[in-house]
Amino acid sequence: MSYAAEIARILQQLGVAPGASHGSGESLSVRTPIDASVLAVLPASTAADLELAISRAAAHYATWRDVPAPRRGAVVRRFGELVRAHKAPLGRLISLETGKIAQEGLGEVQEVVDVCEFAVGLSRQLYGLTIASERPDHKLLETWHPLGVVAVISAFNFPMAVYAWNAALALVCGNTLVWKPSEKTPLCALALNGLLQTALMEEGFDGAIAEVVFGDRTAGEALVAHPAVRLVSATGSTRMGRDVAMACAARFKRSLLELGGNNAAIVCPSADLELVVRGAAFAAVGTAGQRCTTLRRLIVHRSVHAELVQRLAAVYARLPIGNPLEDSTLVGPLIDGHAFESMQAALAAARALGATVHFGERLAGLAPAWYVRPALVEMPRQAGPMLEETFAPILYVTAYDSFEEAIAMNNAVPHGLSSAVFTRDLREAELFTSARGSDCGIANVNIGTSGAEIGGAFGGEKETGGGRESGSDAWKAYMRRATNTINYGSSLPLAQGIRFDVTG
């Protein structure tokens, strides 16, 4: 069976037709990175299609916001149940469209289920505050209310999980949704949104509460600019995020940004090197290095530097690379040729600085797809491409002498997403996670930089955008705060003891 035929079978199994994409524009060809063949052809959304989707979501907000939050949670519960019931075909779809290995595809679907479970509990915990008032017979409250239409712009590398982080929370908070996925992975969006619309309709609500549109940058720009959209949650490059932030600021609307990451792990003299090798390998080569949390820099104490490089090189030499649908594969393809070109340019820049590059070559015999052996790069110092994010499997390794120097190197990049330290020294672990340590939104001890759980708020600082999604109190990003003062007495005392008597 061809991959295109398998896609058609999966979509039929999920009850979704490729033509149900709310599009009437030019054809959008979807290719698999496995062998570059065409999976499907979808109609892209025109400006009129996008306007209709937003207007439908805006119209339904007026009723959805008044639905009790636990009732909204019931919709998200049903959505999670449908996703769980179709975990295998959804995981397969992710692998076909993104090139992720089978276990990573299934893991992403499980993440959708997990965040739905989190959001269902949250639907009964949208707490405000009661604050002591300085005035007698007064109550001071802080309450939370939905925003309106939330736009979600997602990237190709997590075509389902990132949307679910946003959608599950935004829905229980009382918002409606318009989703523009990456033009590289519209089939995953079509399938997942189809299940969400099924959940809505089974629970007695209109599927237009959650709309999906397809297109390129132009569609994203129109979505960001639309006055009915009150929050734009965007995942992608820092350059894209900067444009989104500026456009939102010009219209005084909110943005929630999850952008790039140039993540580092510090390896201390006391580190368990076996743990480091396993943790670093997964974080550096998982998803073929195409994660925002990918480990890109390994900052190693000079005393263990040579041994660790030797161990990692041995692992890299025997990595099973190939078709991600095969159970033995650990590294699948890059998404496209542009990713390969970016990788080779970074490796050339590293060589020009005196680096020793191990591997990084394209695998022969698998064209026109883009399979590479992940690169391990010994850098004489932290400079050049090591200070930049390249969305490909490159792990730069450099040495340090003092722990303070290592922390400074960790923080010496524009991004601030994820970081890690491997140590058995309690002082080093505590210092790394303190205000004097890592400046990233995620700071781990004795695990790698990738693989965050949904219970904690996910996101980073600096050019990573500052947004937080998924767990903890990330729900507040999807709501507006109101301060309420209630006078249940018969007098009107003013704050700060001010007297203003107009009765004569």
Give the CATH number of the domain where residue 125 resides. 3.40.605.10
What's residue 365's pLDDT? Answer: 87
In Å, the largest CA–CA distance within the chain is 95
Is position 213 within any domain? Answer: yes
Among the listed residues 97, 108, 258, 428, the single catalytic one is 258
Give 28's strand partners: 42
Q: Which residues contact 441 (CB under 8 A, 6 or more apart)?
A: 416, 417, 418, 457, 458, 459, 460, 461, 464, 468
**Phi, psi values for residue 28, rounded to 5°:** -115, 110
Contact by Cβ (8 Å): 318, 328: no
Cβ-based neighbour number of residue 72 at 10 Å: 24
Indicate if 415 and 347 belong to the same structural domain. yes
407 sits in which H/E element: helix 403-411
Are both 157 and 30 inside the same structural domain? yes
Is 82 part of a structural domain of the chain? yes
Same structural domain for residues 223 and 296? no
**Residues 163, 145 share a domain:** yes
Whether residues 245 and 351 fall in one domain: no
- In this structure, the answer to whether residues 125 and 137 fall within a common structural domain is yes
Are 332 and 360 within one domain?
yes
Q: What is the 3-state secondary structure (H, E, C) of 153-170?
A: ECCCCCCCHHHHHHHHHH
Strands 469-470 and 457-458: antiparallel
The number of folded domains in the chain is: 2
């509990």: which residue's tokens?
Answer: 121
Neighbours of 9 (CB within 10 A): 13
CB 132 within 8 A of CB 74: no
Non-local CB neighbours of 25 within 8 Å, separated by 6+ positions: 43, 44, 45, 46, 49, 215
Kindly state whether residues 204 and 318 are assigned to the same domain.
Answer: no
CATH of the domain at 329: 3.40.309.10
Evaluate whether residue 501 is within a structural domain: no
Q: What is the CA radius of gyration of the chain?
A: 25
Shared domain check, 290 and 234: no
Element (H, E) at 60: helix 47-64
> For all residues of the chain together, what is the average pLDDT?
96
Active site residue 453: no
Tally the residues of the chain. Answer: 504
Strand arrangement of the beta sheet that strand 129-131 belongs to: 129-131, 138-146, 479-487
Measured CA to CA, the distance from residue 399 to residue 302 in angstroms comes to 5
Same domain, 127 and 30: yes
d(CA 298, CA 285): 13
Residues 49, 76: Cα–Cα separation, whole Å: 26
Mark the ranges of the chain whose per-residue pLDDT is less than 70: 18-22, 504
Which pLDDT score, from 0 to 100, does residue 503 have? 73
**Rounded alpha-carbon distances, angstroms, from residue 366 to 35, 339, 386:** 8, 16, 29
Is 487 part of any domain? Answer: no
Domain holding 57, by residue range, is 25-259+465-482
Residue 212 and residue 292 in one domain? no
In a domain, 499, yes or no: no
Residues 380 and 420 in one domain: yes
Instruction: Give a yes or no: residue 10 inside a domain.
Output: no
Residue 477 resides in a domain: yes
Does residue 18 sit within a domain?
Answer: no
